[in-house]
Structure formats: structure tokens, C-alpha cells
């Protein structure tokens, strides 16, 4: 058995050496994409309203709307590939797709392995609470119980910045939202996109705080060093600001979910500019 | 008469234990030789060496004057039929398929002809209704009769029978041995290992008594079974006799 | 109950069946290749040659120790990175599932062969059949019969494990299910129960005939 483990370790070492010895698969340049006549973009296929597949088998969502425009303006066909959160980076480093448009939050760690274009969306924390005892500011929360999911930005931010807020933590999103329904806490906090959508389908609850904490941006990503494609996306984002493209995108894909109560400017970024 | 089989100074040992210690023996055409002896005396090994299931350590074996070697083993086995103690029919084939496999695949004989012959052969051993039975549907005695027919289907120069009734219930022994007696009557050359002493006496032209890898005594059955010349043979034969313990 | 309608909305039912088609196509190709290569591998595994033995052992331990997902990533992403070999998700899946299935199948074949009494080989040899003929007519057919229940078990395991291919971009039945649930998350929050129920039945009806066939063969060969 020891011998086999040793052999196996040797195998893994060899594999990683091989992998290291060769450069990453080279992503396609903009010219190569044009020549092939097809732009390949990785999107979510089960994360409504950002990337999902409708009942007719068509990709839809905020990210997909933008993906269609990118291909259209380049004058090529679009191929969408279904990706998942844990493997988004792999798709780029192994050159399986040209661009990732999958609700990709910009973080310093990720920026080391992929190149992010200008942002086209922003997220912050939101706080949802029952209409009867609506929380409208962080001050309201002090001395009260806030429900959060373990390992989320909400948990980190409140622990660091608001020690007077009592946190009640759960493992999964479902448990967290059920706890709020059961009245086990005064309010619940997580990404504002999540609480906003949840409040719409649960009458009697309202998002009293729509943006809170550090603002995260969401941006397209390309393989590190793929400058031609990166430049094309950045140019597009800047150019599309003139027609307020992402507001139109919001109206087409997010408005149904968030309703009229939400100010689109709390989520949408035009021209890559964060105010 | 010609010697069908000739064994010269055959030696075989397993892990340093001598099992056959220089056996020499010749079998003439039509002759039936029965080998008897205590367990572990090397009887089975002797038979297994003859058709190459064991590799001898020394000596040589000739079939019709030609030495058996690794090179002609497959050819030799086609001319020597062997039946074993356990039921070694192929369980996934019916009786007809068991009988045809060797002649059709090894001898490349036409299938229709082989199957017709198989039907007739089964009839002779009283199993014509078992043509399409699977081995597991047969009794032990029926299986061994089929195994004998299977060996005969190859039209062998001689047969090796290795304790073919040892695993059978007593009432089935007879039906199998009757087939062997028929074969002997037809002049089949055979080398037989058995514990059935009455059968041995009836079927044999010559009896060999083997012990510790040596032929201790050899003779005609009437002499061997009734007037053994060696003490060892006498002791061995006594183990098959019982005297009444009831007072008259 | 109201959310049951999500199954019949738009093309959802056809999409689920299409997803099942992808699942079955990947599984059946992989299982067929695994059986063919596994028979060969199983015979090789019974050989005494130390080099072959070590190689076979290493292969088997690799597919047992390394999770299938890691293998999928190694072949789909790793091959692209190491050798710039861009395989489709489907091709990567067939390679990995065949690599896994043939190894496991080989071990089952090896077990089935070594469980055949030595007398069977000797009886066949005594009939003057060559080594090749002995394998073809006597040993392999018997091994195959012993193999059936375990091979069926392996095949159904492979069918279920193909759901991992969604992580290399292949949309199969479970992924279609998750897409349908997600697309209806606001209109039909309880839709998941119905969709997963439907997926359960699809898997069941895919694997059931295989089990039936196995039962029939077992009865016939027992």
C-alpha cells in the first residue's frame, strides 16, 4: 500500500510538473475570434436573473444580454458555455472560453489570475426586515439580532464594523431566510441583489437598507494578458454608456425581479464608472 | 503389439518433495492398466504428466514412439482423452455443445457430422434425452458419463481416467463404470487410477501398485488382488476388507 | 401542487428528455468502451508478468483514489493547459469515464476469471483446445456470466456519476433540472420538488431496463 501511495504521489508530481512546464493554453486574440466568426463566452445557466436558461431552452439574463451585444458589435456569432462558480477561472486559464460573464465579483485574489475589464454592475450588502418593524439604517440594528449566512461578506463586514449587532448564523441560504420567516431575528443581511429579489416574493418584508458596507463590482474577465479582447470589452462598455445600455439591460432582465421600488442606479454601472 | 504409450524414468517433485521417483511403464494398444495405491502416492501426478498438465522434471514420455514436448502438447492432447474426478463439464454449455466443442474447434470437423455422432454416442450411454440439458440439470453419474463421451468424441489413441467415480454417490458409481467396461470391451487403450478394487480387477489387463512415487508391485489382476507378493501391497489391499464383529 | 406546472411550461419536458439523452449517450458510449477494454484489461490483470501487474495496479489504484471530478478537470482543463489539447466536454467525459470504467471492469473481470475453477482450464486443455480457444470458448463466457451483476452495478454507477460533467460545461439531465428550477425560482418556489422528482423517474427508467435485462440473463445463466 505504501508503495502504491508513493507511486501515486510521483504521478501527481509528474503531472503538475508537466502542467507547470508548459505555458497556459493561449487564449484567442480578437483577430483570431473575428477570423473564426464565433465569440465563446462562459455564463451561468442556473443563476437567475444574471444567467439562466428559460423554459424554451434560451439563455437569458443580465449577463447574457450583454454577451449578445458583445458578439453583435464584433460581427460574429455567439456561443454560450455553461459555467459554474468554482470553475470560472479554469475556463479562462485553459482557454476554453474567450470571456467570462458570470456575475464575477472583482477581488484582488482573482485579479492575480485573470484580467478584469471595466465593471458593469455593483453589489453591496442589503438588509431586509418585516414591515412591522422595518430597519432602515445600521443604527437601528444595534442591540438587535441580525441573521446572516456563515462565510458571507455580510458576516465578515458586521463582525468587523458593527460589534454591537448580535449575529445569528446559519450554514445555508435556505436556513437563513427560514429563520427570518420564523421571527428568530430582527433582520437579515446578505448581498443586496439577493435580499431585494427575496423581498419581492415575500410580502410583508421590505429591504430597508439597499446598500451597505464595501461596494463590490462585477466585471467581465479574460485570460491574463489577453489585451486585445480586454481592450475591446472596455471600449464597448465606455461606448455603450452613451445609449445607457446597462439601464436597458436592467429593464429587460432585472426589473421584473426587483420591481419599481429599487433604484437601478444602486446596481447598474454605466461606462465602467463608479460614482 | 505396438506400445501406444511409453514412459521412461519419469521424475517429478513439488517444492523438493519427490512425487514420482523414476517411473517406467509401457502401455500396449488395447491394453487397460489400472494404477492403485494409497493417497499421495503419485497416481494422479503420473496421469497429469502424460498429457502435460504437469511438467515432468526428468525422463521422457512417448506417444506412438514420438516424445511429448512443449511444442507438440496441443497435438498430443487431441490424441489422449482425459476424464477427471470432479465434474468438469463446461457449465455454460448444454450437453451437445460440451460434446462438440473439441471435435469442431480443435479438430475442425464439420459441425453437423460431429453432432450426429454425439447423438449416437449419447444413445449408447443411455442419455439421448439429455442432448440439450445443462450440466447442472444432470446427476453426478450422468455428468461423468457425458464427460467420458466427451473424451471419446476426440477419437483418442488412449484414455486417462483419474478417479472418475471418487466424488460420486455409491449408487451412481456402477452406471459410470459400466461405460468404462464397455470401452474396454471395444478395445480402448486406457490408463486408469481408481479406488474401486472390484472394478479394477474386472477391467484391468495389468495392475500397478504405486507407493511413494515408485512401482512397488505389478501383475495380472488375479495375481495382484488374491496373491500379492509384497507386504506393502498386502497391507494396502487389507484396508478394503472388513471382518464381521458380530459373534456367530 | 400548483408548481407542478413548471414541468410542462414551454419546452421544459423536452429539455429534460434531451438532457437525459445526453446522459445516456455519454454513459452508453463510456460503458460500451469500458466493457470492451475492461475484458482485455481483466485478462492482462491475471498475467504474472511483474511489469504488467504493476502498471495495472497503478491504473486501478489511480481510478479508485482520484475522484472522478479531479480526473474530469485534469483531462478537460489540464490537457488544454499542458498540451494545448482542446477537448470538448463530451470527449473529456468519455475519456475519463472509460478510463475509470475499464479499470474497474478489468478488476471485476480479473475476479471473475480467477474464480473459475482451475479444472475448467485443464478440461479444456485436455480436449486439445489452444490457449486462445480456451479463453474464448470456456473461460471468458463463464467469467461473463459471473460478471453480469457487478458489471450492471458499475454501469448504473457510471450513469449516475455522469452528472459530474455539468462541471465541465456539458448540460445533462440534472443540469437541465437545475436550470428549470432556477428559471422558475420566483414563479414556482416549490418547483424543485417536482423537477427533482421528474429527474428521479428519468434516471429510474433509464436504469430499470438494465436491471431487468441483468435479472433475465442471470436467471437464464444461473
Would you call A81 and C169 a contact, using CB atoms and an 8 Å cutoff?
Answer: yes
Q: How far is CA A192 from the centre of its chain?
A: 12
Interface check for A96 against chain C (CB to CB < 8 A): the answer is yes
Q: What is the 3-state secondary structure (H, E, C) of B67-82?
A: ECCHHHHHHHHHHEEE
Smallest CA–CA distance, residue B247 to chain C, in Å, is 48
Nearest CA to B159 among B98, B84, B68?
B84
Close Cβ partners of A219 (under 8 Å, ≥ 6 residues apart): A104, A106, A116, A117, A118, A119, A120
Mean pLDDT over the full length of chain A: 88
Q: How far is CA A28 from the centre of its chain?
A: 24
Place A13 in a pLDDT band, splitting at 50, 70 and 90.
Answer: low
| Separation CA C103–CA A250 (nearest Å) | 51
Q: For residue B20, give every residue at least 6 positions away whose Cβ sits within 8 Å of its Cβ, in sequence order, or none.
A: B10, B11, B12, B13, B42, B45, B46, B49, B56, B213
Q: Read off the DSSP letter of residue B223.
A: H
| Fold exhibited by the domain B3-90+157-238 | Rossmann fold (3.40.50)
Is residue A49 reached through a cis peptide bond, with omega within 30 degrees of 0 on the bond before it? yes
Average pLDDT over residues A193-198: 86
In a mutational test of the C interface, the residue from B51, B70, B87, B88 whose CB has the highest number of chain C CBs within 10 Å is B88
Give B67's Cβ-side CA count (13 Å radius): 9
Mean pLDDT of the B102-121 span = 94
Contacts of A210 (CB under 8 A, 6+ apart): A124, A126, A192, A196, A262, A263, A266
* Distances in whole angstroms, Cα of residue A79 to Cα of each of A67, A96, B24, B70: 9, 11, 84, 65
Instruction: Give the Cβ contact number of residue B56 at 10 Å.
Output: 22
CB A139 within 8 A of CB A131: no
CA distance C67 to C83: 22
Lookup: cell for C55: 502498471
Question: Which has the closest alpha carbon to A50: C173, B172, C185, C113?
Answer: C185
Q: Which residues of C touch A57 (CB under 8 A)?
A: 10-11, 15
> What is chain C's Cα-based Rg?
21
Mutate to test the interface with B, among C128, C140, C147, C218 (most CBs of B within 10 A): C128
CB contact under 8 A, C166 and A24: no
Q: Are C12 and C173 in contact (CB under 8 A)?
A: no
- pLDDT the model gives residue C1: 67
CATH superfamily name and code, C2-221? MetI-like (1.10.3720.10)
C168 contact residues in A (CB cutoff 8 A) = 87
Q: Which residue, among A171, A106, A160, has the nearest Cα to A138 in the 3D structure?
A: A160
Whether B77 sits inside 8 A of C141 (CB atoms) is no
Judged by 3 or more CB pairs under 8 A, whether C touches A is yes
Domain regions of chain B by residue span: 3-90+157-238
Q: C169 and A52: CB-CB below 8 Å?
A: no
Nearest CB among A45, A55, A84 relative to C12 is that of: A55
The span from the CA of B116 to the CA of B118, in Å, is: 5
DSSP designation for C184: T
Q: Is A131 on the interface with C (CB under 8 A)?
A: no
Residue A188: pLDDT above 70?
yes
Q: What is the interface pTM, i.e. ipTM, of the complex?
A: 0.87
Q: Which residues of chain C neighbour A11 with C-beta distances below 8 Å?
A: 58, 62
User: Each residue of C24-75: pLDDT tens digit?
Assistant: 999 999 999 999 999 899 989 988 899 999 999 999 999 999 999 999 999 9
pLDDT grade, residue B185 (50/70/90)? very high
Contacts 24+ apart (CB under 8 A), B73-77: B74/B106, B74/C128, B74/C129, B74/C130, B75/C128, B76/B51, B76/B52, B77/B51, B77/B52, B77/C125, B77/C126, B77/C127, B77/C128
Radius of gyration over alpha carbons of chain A, in Å? 21
Mean pLDDT of B43-70: 91
- For chain A, which domains are there? 24-120+219-264 (3.40.190.10), 123-215 (3.40.190.10)
Per-residue pLDDT, B32? 95
pLDDT digits (tens, 9 = 90+) for A246-272: 999 999 999 988 888 788 988 999 999
Q: What's the CA gap between C145 and C160, in Å, rounded? A: 24
d(CA C91, CA C97): 10
pLDDT at A86: 80
Q: Which residues of C touch B (CB under 8 A)?
A: 117, 119-120, 122-130, 133, 137-138, 141-142, 145, 221
- C189–A95 C-beta distance less than 8 A: no
Q: How far is C167 from chain A (nearest CA, A)?
A: 7
Rg (CA), chain B: 19
Beta bridge partners, A77, equal: A38
Amino acid at each position: 500500500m505504501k508503495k502504491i501511495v508513493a507511486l501515486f504521489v510521483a504521478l501527481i508530481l509528474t503531472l503538475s510538473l508537466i502542467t507547470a512546464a508548459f505555458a497556459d493554453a493561449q487564449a484567442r486574440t480578437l483577430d483570431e475570434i473575428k477570423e473564426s466568426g464565433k465569440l465563446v463566452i462562459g455564463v451561468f445557466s442556473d443563476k437567475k436573473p444574471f444567467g439562466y436558461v428559460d423554459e424554451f431552452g434560451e439563455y437569458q439574463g443580465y449577463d447574457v444580454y450583454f454577451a449578445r451585444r458583445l458578439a453583435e458589435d464584433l460581427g460574429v456569432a455567439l456561443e454560450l458555455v455553461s459555467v459554474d462558480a468554482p470553475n470560472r477561472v479554469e475556463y479562462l486559464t485553459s482557454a476554453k472560453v474567450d470571456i467570462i460573464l458570470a456575475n464575477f465579483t472583482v477581488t484582488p485574489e482573482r485579479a492575480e489570475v485573470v484580467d478584469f475589464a471595466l465593471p458593469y454592475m455593483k453589489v453591496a450588502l442589503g438588509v431586509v426586515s418585516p414591515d412591522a418593524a422595518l430597519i432602515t439604517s445600521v443604527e437601528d440594528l444595534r442591540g438587535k439580532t441580525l441573521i446572516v449566512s456563515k462565510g458571507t461578506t455580510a458576516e465578515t463586514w458586521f463582525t468587523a464594523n458593527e460589534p454591537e449587532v448580535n449575529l445569528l448564523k446559519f450554514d445555508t441560504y435556505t436556513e437563513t431566510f427560514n429563520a427570518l420567516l420564523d421571527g428568530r431575528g430582527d433582520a437579515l443581511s446578505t448581498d443586496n441583489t439577493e435580499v431585494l429579489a427575496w423581498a419581492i416574493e415575500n410580502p410583508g418584508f421590505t429591504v430597508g437598507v439597499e446598500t451597505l458596507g464595501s461596494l463590490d463590482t462585477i466585471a467581465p474577465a479574460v485570460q491574463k494578458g489577453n489585451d486585445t479582447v480586454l481592450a475591446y470589452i472596455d471600449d464597448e462598455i465606455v461606448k455603450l454608456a452613451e445609449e445607457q445600455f446597462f439601464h436597458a439591460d436592467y429593464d429587460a432582465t432585472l426589473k421584473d425581479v426587483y420591481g419599481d421600488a429599487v433604484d437601478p442606479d444602486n446596481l447598474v454601472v454605466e461606462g465602467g464608472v463608479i460614482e | 503389439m505396438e506400445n501406444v504409450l511409453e514412459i521412461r524414468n519419469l521424475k517429478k517433485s513439488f517444492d523438493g518433495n519427490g512425487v514420482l521417483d523414476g517411473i517406467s511403464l509401457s502401455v500396449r494398444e488395447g491394453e487397460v492398466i489400472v494404477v492403485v495405491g494409497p493417497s499421495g502416492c503419485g497416481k494422479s501426478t503420473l496421469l497429469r504428466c502424460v498429457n502435460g498438465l504437469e511438467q515432468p522434471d526428468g525422463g521422457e514420455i512417448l506417444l506412438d514412439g514420438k516424445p511429448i514436448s512443449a511444442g507438440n502438447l496441443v497435438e498430443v492432447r487431441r490424441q489422449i482423452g482425459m476424464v477427471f474426478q470432479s465434474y468438469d463439464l463446461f457449465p455454460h454449455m448444454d450437453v451437445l455443445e460440451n460434446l462438440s466443442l473439441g471435435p469442431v474447434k480443435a479438430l475442425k470437423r464439420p459441425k453437423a457430422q460431429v453432432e450426429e455422432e454425439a447423438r449416437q454416442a449419447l444413445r449408447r450411454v443411455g442419455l439421448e434425452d439429455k442432448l440439450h440439458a445443462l450440466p447442472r440439470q444432470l446427476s453426478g453419474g450422468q455428468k461423468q458419463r457425458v464427460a467420458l463421451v466427451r473424451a471419446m468424441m476426440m477419437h483418442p489413441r488412449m484414455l486417462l481416467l483419474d478417479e472418475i467415480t471418487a466424488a460420486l454417490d455409491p449408487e451412481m458409481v456402477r452406471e459410470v463404470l459400466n461405460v468404462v467396461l464397455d470401452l474396454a470391451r471395444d478395445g480402448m487403450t486406457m490408463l486408469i487410477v481408481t479406488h474401486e478394487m472390484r472394478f479394477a480387477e474386472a477391467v484391468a489387463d495389468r495392475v500397478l501398485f504405486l507407493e511413494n512415487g515408485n512401482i512397488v508391485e505389478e501383475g495380472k489382476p488375479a495375481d495382484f488382488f488374491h496373491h500379492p507378493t509384497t507386504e506393502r501391497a498386502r497391507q494396502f489391499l487389507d484396508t478394503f476388507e472388513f471382518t464381521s464383529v458380530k459373534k456367530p | 401542487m400548483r408548481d407542478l406546472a413548471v414541468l410542462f411550461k414551454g419546452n421544459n419536458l423536452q429539455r429534460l428528455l434531451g438532457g437525459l439523452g445526453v446522459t445516456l449517450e455519454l454513459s452508453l458510449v463510456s460503458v460500451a468502451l469500458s466493457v470492451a477494454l475492461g475484458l482485455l484489461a481483466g485478462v492482462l490483470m491475471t498475467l504474472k508478468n511483474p511489469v504488467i501487474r504493476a502498471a495495472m495496479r497503478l491504473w486501478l489504484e489511480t481510478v479508485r483514489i482520484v475522484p472522478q471530478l479531479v480526473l474530469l478537470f485534469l483531462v478537460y482543463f489540464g490537457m488544454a493547459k499542458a498540451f494545448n489539447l482542446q477537448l470538448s466536454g463530451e470527449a473529456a467525459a468519455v475519456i475519463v469515464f472509460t478510463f475509470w470504467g475499464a479499470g474497474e471492469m478489468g478488476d471485476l473481470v480479473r475476479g471473475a476469471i480467477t474464480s473459475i475453477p482451475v479444472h475448467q482450464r485443464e478440461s479444456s486443455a485436455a480436449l486439445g483446445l489452444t490457449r486462445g480457444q480456451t479463453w474464448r470458448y470456456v473461460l471468458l463466457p463463464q467469467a461473463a456470466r459471473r460478471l453480469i451483476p457487478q458489471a450492471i452495478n458499475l454501469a448504473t454507477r457510471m450513469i449516475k456519476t455522469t452528472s459530474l460533467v455539468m462541471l465541465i460545461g456539458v448540460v445533462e439531465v440534472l443540469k437541465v433540472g437545475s436550470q428549470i428550477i432556477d428559471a422558475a425560482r420566483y414563479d414556482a418556489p416549490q418547483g424543485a420538488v417536482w423537477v427533482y422528482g421528474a429527474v428521479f423517474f428519468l434516471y429510474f427508467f433509464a436504469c430499470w431496463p438494465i436491471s431487468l435485462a441483468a435479472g433475465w440473463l442471470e436467471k437464464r445463466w444461473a
